[in-house]
Amino acid sequence: MPAIKKALIIFAKVPKPGQVKTRLQPDLPPDASARLYLAFILDILNATASLKGVTRMLGCDSSRRDPFFMGLAERHGLDLIDQTGKDLGVRMQSAIAEAYRLGFDQAVIIGTDIPTLPVGYIQEAFKLLKRYSLVLGPGTDGGYYLVGCSGSVPPIFDGVAWGTERVLTQTLQRIAESNLNAALLPFWYDVDTIQDVRWLSEHLSYLERRAGKPVASETARVLKTLKLGGP
């Protein structure tokens, strides 16, 4: 039996000040937000490098020919594809279709706002796709941090209010309406607001104490340079 071809697609943007992590402003200046976002990308790439039998792809928001993406691809051994479509749902649908066109049997998409996501969750997603046609990683903000598919592109991306707390609920409704065979991973959190960043800082401190070494080290390094304020 031929090996299952697996693609992990990481959606990313070029970390330009004022164009990424804009919900962190004005609590953080644009250049600090961009540095933090770059750290997220690097930590995710470092963590997923341990995945075996998985081709990592960057889903590039702008153009895969941007020097930033091309540099990441060279340093980290990544394939590049463009994000195409008017909203997040269309872009995810297109990315999954592109992975299938390239000959992959399973496609998993994650974003870059989850620097502490255990890589084991991604491994579990690929395992589940041997038995299920769809897997979601539900987010604590009402969205989801991961979507994975095997077989045809699932009809779950239309009519969803992207960027709201209703994303997960609406997606689960689409799954039920389409009678899809789906599985859920454990909940995890995105980092979008300054409150999320403060929680991230505390979480990383805890993880470092428990592990005896830095976790998400690029993010931890940038956080130490920021004035987060708050309680």
User: Any idea what the CATH number is for the domain that residue 172 is in?
Assistant: 3.90.550.10
In a domain, 99, yes or no: yes
Q: What is the DSSP code (8-state) at residue 23?
A: G
Residues 70-85 have a mean pLDDT of 96
SS3 content of the chain, % helix, strand, coil (to 5): 40, 20, 40
In a domain, 123, yes or no: yes
Domain carrying residue 63: 6-190
The pLDDT score that the predictor gives to residue 217 is 95
In a domain, 158, yes or no: yes
pLDDT tens digits, residue range 205-231?
999 999 888 899 999 999 999 978 665
The pLDDT score that the predictor gives to residue 142 is 95
Q: How much of the chain exceeds pLDDT 90, in percent?
A: 89
In a domain, 227, yes or no: no
In a domain, 134, yes or no: yes
In a domain, 224, yes or no: no
- The contacts of residue 38 (CB under 8 Å, 6+ apart) are 15, 218
Bridge-based pairing of strands 6-13 and 106-110 is parallel
The pLDDT score that the predictor gives to residue 151 is 86
48 Rama class: left (phi>0) / alpha (psi -120 to 50) / beta? alpha
Query: Is a pLDDT exceeding 60 seen at residue 40?
Result: yes
- Provide the residue type at 107 as one letter: A
In a domain, 210, yes or no: no
pLDDT tens digits, residue range 13-39?
999 999 999 999 889 999 999 999 999
Distance from C-alpha of 135 to C-alpha of 73, rounded to nearest angstrom? 27
> What is the greatest pairwise CA distance in the chain?
56
The pLDDT score that the predictor gives to residue 231 is 57
Residues 179-200 have a mean pLDDT of 96
Q: What is the pTM of this model?
A: 0.96
CA geometry: angle 125, 12, 5, nearest 5 deg: 40
The pLDDT score that the predictor gives to residue 62 is 83
Do 191 and 200 touch, CB atoms closer than 8 A? yes
CA distances from 44 to 9, 150, 157 (A): 12, 23, 25
Average pLDDT, the chain: 94
CA distances from 98 to 49, 56, 149, 193, 201 (A): 22, 14, 12, 32, 36
**Number of structural domains, the chain?**
1
CA distances from 69 to 15, 135, 155 (A): 10, 27, 30
In a domain, 44, yes or no: yes
pLDDT tens digits, residue range 91-131?
999 999 999 999 999 999 999 999 999 999 999 999 999 99
The pLDDT score that the predictor gives to residue 160 is 92
